[in-house]
Structure 1
Amino acid sequence: MRGIPLIITLLLTVSLAYYIYLPLPEAIQRPWKLMLLDATFRTAVYIAALKQWLGFDHYIISIRRTSEFFDKNPDPEFLPGVIVSDETFSGVPVRVYEASGGEGGLKRGLLYFHGGGWAMGSAKKGAYDKMSRIWSDELNAVVVSVEYRLYPEVQFPVPYLDCLTAAKYFLSAEVLSKYSIDPERVAVSGDSAGGNLAAAVAQEVRTSLYSYSYSVILQL
Structure 2
Amino acid sequence: MGPFSVVFTFLLTASLAYYVYTPFPDGVEEPWKLMLLDATFRTAAKFQRLGFGHYIRSIRRFREVLLESDAGEDFVPGVKVSDVTFSGVPVRVYEASGGQGGLRRGLLYFHGGGWALGRASSYDKLTRIVSAELDAVVVSVDYRLYPEVQFPEPYLDCLAAAKHFLSAEVLSRYSVDPERVGVSGDSAGGNLAAAVAQEVHTRCS
Q: TM-score range by the shorter chain?
A: 0.7 to 0.9
Deviations 1:155-204 (A, max 9, x none): 11000000000000000111111111111110011110001101110010
Q: CA deviation at 1:50?
A: 1.4
C-alpha distance in structure 1 between counterparts of 2:177 and 2:3, whole Å: 76
Q: Which runs of no fewer than 5 residues in structure 2 stay unpaired? A: none
Larger Rg: 1
Of 86, 90, 99, the match for 1:102: 99
Whether contact under 8 Å (1:19, 1:39) holds in the other structure is: no
Bigger CA drift: 157-166 or 59-68? 59-68
- The alignment covers a number of residue pairs equal to 202
Give the 3 Å change call, closer, same or farther, for CA 177–53 of structure 1 in structure 2: same
Name the TM-score, length of structure 1 as normaliser: 0.82
Aligned pairs (5 A) from 1:200-211: 200-210=195-205
Partner of residue 144 from structure 2, selected from 146, 149, 152: 149
Q: What does residue 12 of structure 1 align with?
A: 12
Kept after mapping to 1: 8 A contact 2:79/2:131: yes
Displacement of 1:208: 0.5
Amino acid at match of 2:43: I
SS for the counterpart of 1:88 is strand
Q: Distance in 2 between matches of 1:16 and 1:178?
A: 55
Secondary structure of the corresponding residue to residue 76 of structure 1: coil
Q: 1:51 aligned to 47, 51, 55, which one?
A: 47
Q: Distance in 2 between matches of 1:27 and 1:119?
A: 25
Shift in alpha-carbon separation, 1:14–1:151, aligned structure 2, 3 A: closer
Percent identity between the two aligned chains: 65
One-letter amino acid matched to 1:104: G
What's the TM-score, normalizing by structure 2? 0.88
- Work out whether 1:181 is the aligned partner of 2:180: no
Across the aligned residues of Structure 1 and Structure 2, the Cα RMSD in angstroms comes to 2.4
Residue 77 of structure 1, CA deviation: 1.2
| Displacement of 1:4 | 6.0
